[in-house]
Amino acid sequence: MTRHVSVLSFVAFVGFLVLPYVHALEFTNGSPCEDLCKSPKSSTGDISYTLSSELSCLDPGYAGGNSTTIGRKFKSCVSCEFTSGMNNPTAENDLYWFLFNIKSTVVWCVQGFFGAEQNKAATLANSRCNLLVLRSSRLCKTR
């Protein structure tokens, strides 16, 4: 048991050391989407993590004159994952990572959290959306 805890502690420690240097949206190893999803600073596609800093919450961030590097990268990555059909022997596939990356964006931008992080910019939208839902449900019940 002690050896198991030590190994887990070591893996967690190494993960925290590597995580700040590996910036990539999640993708399947060997995927044709790898170049679109990984950071230019990442030399290998063996490790990928989706970080809140790689998620764009505003529609203009994805295309047009006000688009951002983050938004364009995210759009290219998930568009590729949606259509690639990539599966590998470890049962990973790009469609799973497409859904994971989209879910991460919804959770971060609407619900206001991503893991232990909180997105202060999302809480106002979340509370306003909840008010609209409450109002519309009351309207529906009175009819």
Question: What pLDDT is recorded for position 99?
Answer: 93
pTM for this structure?
Answer: 0.63
Q: Which amino acid is at 30?
A: G
Helix (H, G, I), strand (E, B) or coil at 1: coil
User: Per-10-residue mean pLDDT for the chain, 143 residues long?
Assistant: 43 36 67 85 60 84 91 94 87 89 87 69 54 50 42
φ/ψ of 24, rounded to 5, equals: -160, 145
